[in-house]
Amino acid sequence: MGEFTTTIETRLNQAYKGLQEATSNGDDFLADTLTAEIEDLRRLADDHGVAIER
């Protein structure tokens, strides 16, 4: 399950960075979209027993 974990972590890192940029730029729609993606990825990780640090 190493590749799965790596993929989840990579996608989460990208989403968190994008969320920070969207928030800084005042792009509420993108921020909401990325927040939903983060929630989905965290749920997916939890469903598969992948521990996420953030």
**Any domain includes 54:** no
The answer to whether residues 11 and 45 touch, using CB atoms and an 8 Å cutoff, is no
50: left (phi over 0), alpha (psi -120 to 50) or beta: beta
Q: How many domains does the chain have?
A: 1
Given this model, what pLDDT does residue 1 score? 62
Given this model, what pLDDT does residue 49 score? 93
Domain span at residue 31 reads: 2-19+26-47
- Averaged over successive runs of 10 residues, the pLDDT of the chain (54 residues) comes to 91 98 98 98 95 82
- Give the CA distances from residue 34 to residues 1, 19, 54, in Å, rounded to whole numbers and listed in that order: 25, 6, 15
The answer to whether residues 52 and 13 touch, using CB atoms and an 8 Å cutoff, is no
**Any domain includes 52:** no
Q: What is the mean pLDDT of the chain?
A: 95
**Any domain includes 38:** yes
